[in-house]
Structure 1
Amino acid sequence: MRETPAPSLIEKPKKPLDAAAKEMDKSIRVRCIRRQECIEVGHDRFEEIVTAFLQKVGEANVINLCTVNYSYVDMGSRQILNDFGILITYRG
């Protein structure tokens, strides 16, 4: 007979990678917001969408803001148009 309990042969399962990643420090992420994607019913909402995203992330978590210029073909007029956007690097 034993005086102490028998050691358990079944080990606890390891944490899933998703749970382990959430416990670690916030990872660096990148978000690109193009002005073309922010036009709704003829209204340019680029500033509103960028402001809402930055408020959601928080000023302390923003690492870098870069403007980007890009070209795309407008399907209606079949012209090449130049546009702009913003690339946000943040901790999240």
Structure 2
Amino acid sequence: MDKQMDAAYYHLLHELQAVDFVLVELNLYLDTHPNDLKAIEEYNRYAVKRKELACAYEEKYGPLMHFGHSYSKYPWQWADEPWPWQV
């Protein structure tokens, strides 16, 4: 991994990771409390926030997920490092 990323890259990636953590925790909670409307609303708010953050990340830095979950610009961006899981 030779490419040095700017501070905004790491900030955005950190925000994504934090939102993903909240979504996992809310998902686990909702598995045992499926009728908690406030938790469902919170989950949905974070799901929207995650989509916005992921779109912002992918627009500026490239795809986050493979197998059709993220688009690639031309040329094929999966050859570009660092990949999100490498930092």
| Greater share of helix | 2
- Superposition TM-score tier, normalisation by shorter sequence: under 0.3
TM-score, length-normalised on structure 2?
0.28
TM-score, length-normalised on structure 1?
0.27
| Greater share of strand | 1
- For the pair shown, which has the larger CA radius of gyration, 1 or 2? 1
